[in-house]
Amino acid sequence: MRYDFGSDNTAGMAPAALQAVVDANDGYARAYGADDVTARAADQIRRRLDADAEIRFVFSGTAANAIALSMLAQPHEAVLAHHAAHVCTDETGAPGFFGHGLGLIGLPGFSGKIEPTALHAALDEPVVGHRQPAAALSLTQATEYGSIYSEDELRHLIEPAKLRGHGVHMDGARLANAAAAGFEVKAIAGLGVDILVVGGTKAGMPPTEAVVICDRTLARRFDSRLKQAGQLPSKGRFLAAPFVGMLEDGDLVRHAAHANAMARRLAGLSPFRITHPVEANGVFVEMDDERLAALQAAGWFVYRFLDGSVRFMCSWATTAETVDEFGEALRRVA
């Protein structure tokens, strides 16, 4: 079975990430993130985001998102998110586990983007004792369906939430893909995002994610919080190094741009109807069970997503040749 298009986490490490890990292996280093590599990586990210943020590197995007939400909402409160957001559908209830029962309120919207009127309606819900009232907003950039919020779209979602005192979280598991598509990441902090998770894994790194705390008042005793949650690496340099390696020469965005381009190329070859805008590195198509089975029988592991589309993901490692080969396979089963 071939996993090329199954997900963007089936590829390995990009060369610069791997090289940085090898380089970071030299000698002794202070534990728990007090090392030089971690400091360098954090500086790089602050510079790229133009944000004076507190930054930590953790193992897991699931944990990073869940911890962030638990910092923005109490157990008796809830977080507003797109109903197809990763935190709602693919993290096995991690927000409730790390947030001690914290609730999620799923909002509708096309192609993974929250519909502003739905958000306003949710924000206007009266607080009643027997429901978990909203206390935070979670946004995903790029979305689960490969669409990308414009700066204005984000502003129109964030502003009304902030007006009610809600915190804002951004799941940036594929932020590099959004950046490569033209989204200006330097705007994030200014838009009012309190905690941002910048994905490393799907961008071509080994397991590592950067938690970026834009609102530093939230960061108090953050190392204790991460340690308790099993997310404070003793050998922190190995989680920071891939960011150093992929940021210093711009490989992070370059690879993401390549993944996006591969998705567009694949979309162009698809004989199946495309169901969502191809703005990042994913392609979603309408395909019946018989054709999906035929595609899998031909050796390609891909699967049906939440909305019924079949999803193809591209990554830094996807080659044009493989896309063409896969396009051919699609045509054969169409």
List the one residue from 292, 294, 301, 307 that touches a second copy (CB under 8 A): 301
Contact 224, 218 (CB under 8 A): no
Using CB under 8 A, which of the segments 147-155, 234-242, 246-254, 266-274 binds a second copy?
234-242
Under the binding rule (CB under 8 A), the answer on residue 26 touching a second copy is yes
Contact 141, 149 (CB under 8 A): yes
Rounded alpha-carbon distances, angstroms, from residue 187 to 74, 114, 138:
27, 19, 17
As beta bridge partners, residue 281 has: none
Minimal distance in Å, beta carbon 145 to a second copy? 17
Under the binding rule (CB under 8 A), the answer on residue 90 touching a second copy is yes
Using CB under 8 A, which of the segments 12-20, 38-46, 145-153, 324-332 binds a second copy?
12-20
Under the binding rule (CB under 8 A), the answer on residue 228 touching a second copy is yes
Under the binding rule (CB under 8 A), the answer on residue 207 touching a second copy is yes
Minimal distance in Å, beta carbon 235 to a second copy? 6
Q: Which is nearer to a second copy, 42 or 135 (CB)?
A: 135
List the one residue from 20, 41, 79, 91 that touches a second copy (CB under 8 A): 91
User: What number of CA atoms fall less than 13 Å from residue 127's CA on the CB side?
Assistant: 7
Nearest partner of 38 among 51, 54, 16, 60, judged by Cα: 54
Under the binding rule (CB under 8 A), the answer on residue 7 touching a second copy is yes
Let me know the angle formed at the C-alpha of 266 by 264 and 271, rounded to the nearest 5 degrees.
120
Q: What are the DSSP calls for 205-221, one per residue?
A: -SS-EEEEESSGGGGTT
List the one residue from 112, 146, 172, 233 that touches a second copy (CB under 8 A): 233
Minimal distance in Å, beta carbon 197 to a second copy? 12
Under the binding rule (CB under 8 A), the answer on residue 221 touching a second copy is yes
Report the 10 Å Cβ neighbour count for 118.
16
Interactions with a second copy, residue window 42-81 (CB under 8 A): 59-60, 62-64, 66-67, 74-78
Q: Which is nearer to a second copy, 57 or 149 (CB)?
A: 57
Under the binding rule (CB under 8 A), the answer on residue 320 touching a second copy is no
